[in-house]
């Protein structure tokens, strides 16, 4: 990343990084970790610096080691610009964390399938009311919303506005005034171009009642198909027995909503590949 940001590119982008709480045992560890990250990124300032995966136990550590003071100190020195946190816990805990500090931003899992999980819709609105910017991770629910079952495809095809499964998921989020931006894993230039094109057509409160009705239908279809409501937060990784838990859950969900045909065979093949990879 540091090499890629040379030759003027650093000024064209925003950098976000996280303080990994498991590596912090005393206040000085904050300074050491931040210094290493700045060195690796080959920059003198990180735009968004987040506490990684705040929950009750980690919030207690933040308070005990006075890490919020360390964050403010780093901001005053110009080493970071904005202070935030990522989150995987309950709504009550989310509100407690929001109220614990004057945050610039937070990062939560949210999509049209996971509106009632972790921070939930209430948490999203609570952060917005407090003036905290909200970044969405998992907008496609670990890729599940990008590869819908046949029933969901039929609903999309009947809609007046034609959108891909990915665009339906992203437009749902971009339509919400409480959402500041979304994170989307983009592995190819084609995906980057497509997502940028979708973003050009987005806007707060631009979806029609029919659009929102389509999304409600899609959510209901998925709820009937999905056996395990995994958000791929990866907090179960690594498994002490070497099991790739998120991938197994994803394959189980894919297999459950494909009754026959090529797509079901493709799931079987992916599972066999995963077993071969583990054996190697």
175 is a domain residue: no
Give the sheet arrangement for strand 133-137, strand by strand: 16-19, 46-54, 80-87, 105-109, 133-137, 181-182
Task: Using a cut of 0.75, tell me whether the model's pTM lies above it.
Answer: yes
Question: CA 92 to CA 73: how far, in whole Å?
Answer: 28
Q: What is the dihedral of CA 94, 99, 103, 106, to 10 degrees?
A: 10
254 is a domain residue: yes
Which of 280, 251, 244, 279 lies closest to 265 in space, CA to CA? 251
**Sequence-ordered list of residues with C-beta below 8 angstroms from that of 128, at least 6 positions apart, any chain:** 134, 177, 178
96 is a domain residue: no
- pLDDT tens digits, the chain, 280 residues: what are they? 889 989 899 999 999 999 999 999 999 999 999 999 999 999 999 999 999 999 999 999 999 999 999 999 999 999 999 999 999 889 999 999 999 999 999 999 999 998 988 999 999 999 999 999 999 999 998 888 998 888 999 999 999 999 999 999 999 999 999 999 999 888 899 999 999 999 999 999 999 999 999 999 999 998 887 767 776 677 787 888 888 887 777 777 766 655 555 556 666 676 677 666 665 5
100 is a domain residue: no
199 is a domain residue: no
Alpha carbon separation from 31 to 41, 50, 65, 100 (Å, rounded): 15, 14, 12, 22
255 is a domain residue: yes
Residue 273: domain span: 236-280
Enumerate the β-bridge partners of residue 133: 105
218 is a domain residue: no
CA angle 90, 93, 97 (to 5 degrees): 135
Domains: count for the chain: 1
Alpha carbon separation from 101 to 24, 62, 72, 96 (Å, rounded): 20, 11, 11, 9
36 is a domain residue: no
């Amino acid at each position: 990343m540091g090499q890629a940001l040379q030759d003027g590119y650093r000024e064209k982008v925003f950098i976000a990084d996280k303080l990994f709480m498991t590596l912090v045992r005393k206040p000085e560890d904050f300074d050491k970790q931040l210094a290493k990250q700045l060195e690796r990124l080959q920059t003198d300032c990180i735009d968004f610096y987040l506490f990684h995966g705040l929950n009750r136990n980690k919030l207690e550590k933040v308070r005990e080691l006075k890490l919020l003071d360390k964050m403010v100190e780093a901001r005053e020195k110009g080493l970071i610009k904005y202070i935030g946190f990522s989150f995987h816990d309950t709504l009550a805990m989310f509100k407690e964390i929001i109220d614990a500090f004057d945050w610039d931003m937070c990062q939560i899992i949210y999509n049209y399938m996971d509106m009632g999980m972790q921070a939930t819709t209430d948490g999203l609105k609570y952060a917005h009311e407090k003036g905290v910017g909200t970044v969405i991770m998992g907008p496609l629910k670990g890729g599940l919303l990008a590869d819908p079952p046949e029933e969901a495809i039929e609903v999309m095809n009947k809609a007046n506005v034609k959108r891909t499964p990915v665009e339906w998921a992203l437009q749902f989020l971009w339509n919400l005034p409480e959402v500041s931006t979304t994170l989307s894993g983009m592995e190819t230039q084609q995906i980057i171009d497509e997502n940028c094109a979708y973003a050009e057509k987005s806007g707060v409160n631009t979806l029609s009642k029919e659009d929102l009705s389509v999304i409600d239908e899609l959510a209901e279809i998925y709820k009937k198909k999905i056996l395990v409501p995994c958000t791929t937060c990866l907090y179960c990784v690594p498994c002490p027995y070497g099991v790739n838990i998120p991938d197994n859950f994803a394959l189980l969900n894919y297999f459950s909503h494909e009754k026959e045909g090529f797509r079901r065979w493709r799931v079987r093949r992916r599972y066999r590949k995963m077993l071969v990879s583990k054996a190697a």
